[in-house]
Structure 1
Amino acid sequence: MVNDDDMILSVTTHIAAPPDKVWDILTTRQEEWWCPKPWRVEIVEQDWRSGGRAAMTIHGPNGEVMPQECVFLEVVPGERYVVTDAFTTGWKPAGPFMVGIWEIAPEGEGTRYTGSALHWTRDAYEQHKAMGFSEGWSAVAQQLKELCEAA
């Protein structure tokens, strides 16, 4: 979904697995689903609390290395977590690009997963769209889905 007025980009998918299983994989196995292959992510630290550090390094297939330093704004176990790059640990201001929201909710006999990015500026929003937000975040949603639905 693209909402040009609110500068929100999001993807959603139904996962044929219970919410507790999806939450567990969503939060403890990020290195297996977060980056679209052949990219990969290395988790540096995930301090699952408001104000906690959310740090990772993204590695590309051609040697690209992109450190990401964020802070958790909200963690509601079993439901959602929210991070931003507008701050680093200790609420130190940083160059903001987006607020990321990952949510799950029961739906039928499975779980509805939604990943959203809210942008501070129109330029950041347009840049994220042009970077392939829909394709990339859809790919990671599919990777999460496959992990959760595996036996």
Structure 2
Amino acid sequence: MSGTAYELSVTRLVNTPRAIAWKVWTDLKDEWFCPKPWRAEVIEEDMRPGGRSAVRMHGPDGADSGPLEGIFLEVVPQERVVTTDAYAAGWVPQKPFMTVIWTFADEGEGTCFTATARHWDAESLKRHEEMGFHPGWDQMADQFKALCETSAASA
């Protein structure tokens, strides 16, 4: 199977330059990263290969996702970020679920934003679909787009 056989993704055309989309992605993650009424709490974002990525999601009824813990594999500012949950910080192996590729590309005067989740196997992909990948990630991408465009209007 190819590397993209177990892939789910969402794409949005954001009506802002890449620099603004990048700033929203890096600086305002707590405002768009999970579908409302849930909220995200960024614990750490050490944006360098091997650096820790940890975000906790809080539900309106007191539910807590526990930290979504992983590391950055690649960071190309304003272009591409790759993270995985196969490792915790310090290259400590943990049970893997996915690798996420976030891309930012020029499209006209805007930015094509894509979030892609690559899973290790068919079972993980199916589980993510059943967890509500598309409703959740679609809402996340819509929130990201709206925040980018609001940030551009106020810039």
Structure 2, gaps ≥5 residues long: none
Aligned 1:107-118 pairs, distance under 5 A: 107-118=107-118
Residue by residue over 1:9-39, the C-alpha shift from the partner in whole angstroms, topping out at 9 and shown as x without a partner, is 0000100000000001011110010010001
CA distance in 2, matches of 1:44, 1:138: 23
Residue by residue over 1:46-91, the C-alpha shift from the partner in whole angstroms, topping out at 9 and shown as x without a partner, is 0010000001111112211112111001101110111111001111
Residue by residue over 1:81-133, the C-alpha shift from the partner in whole angstroms, topping out at 9 and shown as x without a partner, is 11111001111100100001111100001000000100012111000011111
- State the percentage of identical aligned residues: 49
Q: Secondary structure at the match of 1:68?
A: strand
Per the normalisation by structure 1, the TM-score is 0.95
User: 1:20 — aligned with what?
Assistant: 19
Q: Number of residues paired by the alignment?
A: 148
User: 2:74 — aligned with what?
Assistant: 74
User: 2:64 — aligned with what?
Assistant: 65
Aligned 1:62-141 pairs, distance under 5 A: 62-66=61-65, 67-141=67-141
Q: Secondary structure at the match of 2:101?
A: strand
Q: Which runs of 4+ in 1 moved over 2 A?
A: none
Q: Secondary structure at the match of 1:69?
A: strand
User: 2:54 — aligned with what?
Assistant: 55
The CA RMSD over aligned residues, in Å, is: 1.2
Structure 1, gaps ≥5 residues long: none
